[in-house]
Amino acid sequence: MVLCLAIAVAWPTAHAAKATKPSPEKSEVSEKKSDLRDLREKIDTLQKDIAAAEGSRAEVADQLKDSERSISQLQRELRELGDERGQLQGTLRELGTQAKSLEAQIAAQQAQLADLLYQQYLRGSPDSLQLLLNGDNPNQMARDMYYIDIVARARVNLLQQIEANLRKKQDIAARTQDRASALVAVEARQKDKHDRLLAQREQKKATYGKISAQIAAQKKEVGALQRDERRLKELIDKLTKLIAARTERPRASSKDGGKAARSQGAAALEIENAQLPQAAPAGSFVALKGNLRLPVKGTVSNRFGTPRQEGSNWKGLFIRSPMGGEVKAVAGGRVVFAEWMRGFGNLLIVDHGDSYLTIYGNNDALLKHVGDSVRGGDTVATVGNSGGNPESGLYFEIRHQGQPVDPLKWASLK
pLDDT (0 to 100) of residue 10: 36
Q: What percent of the chain has pLDDT over 90?
A: 25
pLDDT (0 to 100) of residue 323: 93
Specify whether 202 is located in the same domain as 295: no
In this predicted structure, the answer to whether residue 258 has a pLDDT above a threshold of 50 is no
Domain count, the chain: 2
Averaged over 110-138, what is the pLDDT?
64
pLDDT (0 to 100) of residue 222: 53
CB 59: neighbour CB atoms within 10 A?
Answer: 19
11 pLDDT tier (thresholds 50, 70, 90)? very low
3 pLDDT tier (thresholds 50, 70, 90)? very low
30 falls within a domain: no
158 falls within a domain: yes
Task: Find which of 23-27, 85-89, 351-355 is predicted with most confidence, using mean pLDDT.
Answer: 351-355
Q: What percent of the chain has pLDDT over 70?
A: 65
14 pLDDT tier (thresholds 50, 70, 90)? very low
Compute the C-alpha angle 99/103/109, nearest 5°: 145
Specify whether 201 is located in the same domain as 236: no
In this predicted structure, the answer to whether residue 265 has a pLDDT above a threshold of 60 is no
pLDDT (0 to 100) of residue 358: 97
Specify whether 310 is located in the same domain as 237: yes
Specify whether 241 is located in the same domain as 182: no
Mean pLDDT lowest among 14-18, 269-273, 277-281:
269-273
In this predicted structure, the answer to whether residue 300 has a pLDDT above a threshold of 70 is yes
Averaged over 91-110, what is the pLDDT?
85
Q: Which residue has the higher pLDDT, 132 or 321?
A: 321
pLDDT tens by residue, 208-256: 777 777 666 666 555 667 778 888 888 888 888 888 877 665 444 444 4
Specify whether 139 is located in the same domain as 241: no
Q: Which CATH number does the domain housing residue 101 bear?
A: 1.10.287.620
Specify whether 211 is located in the same domain as 311: no
pLDDT (0 to 100) of residue 28: 55
Cβ distance 398 to 356 under 8 Å?
yes
0.85 exceeded by pTM: no
255 falls within a domain: no
pLDDT (0 to 100) of residue 248: 62
Specify whether 178 is located in the same domain as 228: no
25 pLDDT tier (thresholds 50, 70, 90)? low
Mean pLDDT lowest among 96-105, 143-152, 260-269:
260-269
Q: Which residues span the domain enclosing 343? A: 222-250+275-412
Q: Which residue has the higher pLDDT, 175 or 149?
A: 175
375 falls within a domain: yes
Averaged over 165-183, what is the pLDDT?
85
Averaged over 337-353, what is the pLDDT?
92
In this predicted structure, the answer to whether residue 387 has a pLDDT above a threshold of 70 is yes
148 falls within a domain: yes
In this predicted structure, the answer to whether residue 116 has a pLDDT above a threshold of 80 is no
Average pLDDT, the chain: 75
26 falls within a domain: no
162 pLDDT tier (thresholds 50, 70, 90)? confident
Specify whether 170 is located in the same domain as 230: no
Specify whether 237 is located in the same domain as 194: no
pLDDT (0 to 100) of residue 211: 72
Q: Which CATH number does the domain housing residue 392 bear?
A: 2.70.70.10
Specify whether 231 is located in the same domain as 154: no
12 pLDDT tier (thresholds 50, 70, 90)? very low
344 falls within a domain: yes
In this predicted structure, the answer to whether residue 56 has a pLDDT above a threshold of 60 is no
In this predicted structure, the answer to whether residue 396 has a pLDDT above a threshold of 70 is yes
pLDDT (0 to 100) of residue 324: 92
Specify whether 74 is located in the same domain as 183: yes
Specify whether 318 is located in the same domain as 380: yes
Q: Which residue has the higher pLDDT, 149 or 405?
A: 405
Averaged over 306-331, what is the pLDDT?
89
Cβ distance 332 to 352 under 8 Å?
yes
296 falls within a domain: yes
